[in-house]
Amino acid sequence: MSCYVAPPPQCGAAGKNPQKESFGKDVTGSCFFLTRWYRRKMSALDVQDFIQQNRAVADQVETFRGYWESEKHWEARREFILRNMNDFKAEQLDHLLSLSMVWANNVFMGCRYSTELLEKVKEMAEGIVVEDAPVFKTRDEIMKNQQGR
């Protein structure tokens, strides 16, 4: 099994990085070093830096895109996956992908899920900005607005 180093931006290779390193597995099952920089939640810029510096992982994540996903939909879901992938072990990948679909379905299609599940995915997606996201109303909200006229 070959390993590679995933240092934070402007930091040296493993062993030269002043931050404490830990050993982990990526989504492909390959090993890599995680630093505190990657264990914390990534911002949108962090995600772009990560993609540029870790092409193997980024290419693997690209395989999770559904053929039906628009570029806007995929970019948001990919960011969700990349921001949270270090919180899941390799064998929990399906769970992370399921949560990413729950979040994307809620945001882009208005699908509704249990309160607990929505709270969890919204917490995981904190900081992800989706521009021009659709706004959905329930039937009860529409009826209330029509009755008020």
User: Residues 92-123: pLDDT tens digits?
Assistant: 999 999 999 999 999 999 999 999 999 999 99
Per domain, the residue ranges of the chain are 41-147
Joined together, the tokens standing for residue 92 give 């929990």
Angstrom distance (rounded) from CA 66 to CA 110: 18
User: Residues 6-57: pLDDT tens digits?
Assistant: 333 333 333 333 333 333 444 444 433 333 334 345 666 677 787 788 888 8
Q: Give all strands (DSSP E) within 1-149, no chain letters.
A: 3-5, 21-25, 31-35
Burial zone of 115 (CB within 10 Å; 0-12 exposed, 13-18 middle, 19+ buried) = exposed
pTM across the whole model: 0.64
Joined together, the tokens standing for residue 52 give 């540029």
Q: How far is CA 6 from the centre of its chain?
A: 17
